[in-house]
Amino acid sequence: MKQISVIIPTLNESARIAETLESLPRDRRLERIVVDGGSTDDTRARAESGAGRVLTSGAGPARQMNAGAARAEGDTLLFLHADSRLPKGAIDQIEAVLRDPGVPGGAFQLSIDSPKRSLRWIARAANLRTRLTRVPYGDQGIFVRRTVFERLGGFPDLPIMEDLEFSRRMKRTGKIAILSSAVTTSARRWEREGILTVTLRNRLFAALYFLGVSPLFLARRYRAVR
């Protein structure tokens, strides 16, 4: 394997992006790409000191991640949220599972950066769901072979649920690997909007999506209830 490209979409993430980039392993196998969707703060300036490349694209996670993938040099693409940190040994773990040609990609477990017991239980429930369904969410650090990513046409250009749809498509190509270590993500969504509100909304919207409700409708409702 030549290299793993970590692709981080950003939009007004000046408070987080430097810490996220600093947490990435100093490993010659890792390429760092930040794709900004038009931030009005100093996200780009903060990213330039820690990323190998800072790109600009149209706003929207799917568009940004696809833009980063198009410029990436790695054989493996790893998509990481701007408020998340990889576990130690992440690169070695990814390379190990991808030695199996039947594995198209995968993701990590989820850990929420908070001492609150309720958030620990939410993370455990998310990890159980992922182990049972093999359909990871974007905040778990989805990784995929470049060849598979290109064959699937990248992330679908959806305003919401692009990560779930991509994971579902990837699952059809082989066995999704769920690693034992965890990506640690910020608790800011739950702290800002309320633990119960965020949890129930996420479960409801995911269920509606799997039942066939339009992502455009869900995106409008998502913006309305936030």
Give start and end residues of each alpha helix (H) in the chain: 17-23, 43-48, 61-71, 90-97, 117-133, 146-151, 162-171, 188-193, 195-210, 215-225
Is the separation of the CB atoms in 123 and 117 below 8 Å? no
- For the chain, domains (ranges, CATH) are 4-184 (3.90.550.10)
Residue 36: DSSP 8-state: E
Structure confidence by residue, pLDDT tens digits, 97-134: 999 999 999 999 999 999 999 999 999 999 999 999 99
Q: What is the pLDDT of residue 1?
A: 46
pTM equals: 0.93
From the list 27, 40, 41, 32, the residue with the least C-alpha distance to 8 is 32
The residue ranges of the chain whose pLDDT is under 50 are 1, 225-226
Question: DSSP secondary structure string, 124-155?
Answer: HHHHHHHHHH----GGG-EEEEHHHHHHTTSS
Structure tokens at 129: 């769901």
Structure tokens at 153: 């046409």
* CA–CA–CA angle 219, 221, 224 (5° rounding): 110
Structure confidence by residue, pLDDT tens digits, 56-73: 999 999 999 999 999 999
Q: What is the pLDDT of residue 223?
A: 59
Q: From residue 142, give the alpha-carbon distance in Å to each of 94, 97, 118, 152, 222.
A: 10, 13, 24, 14, 23
Q: What is the pLDDT of residue 2?
A: 57
From the list 176, 141, 177, 149, the residue with the least C-alpha distance to 25 is 141
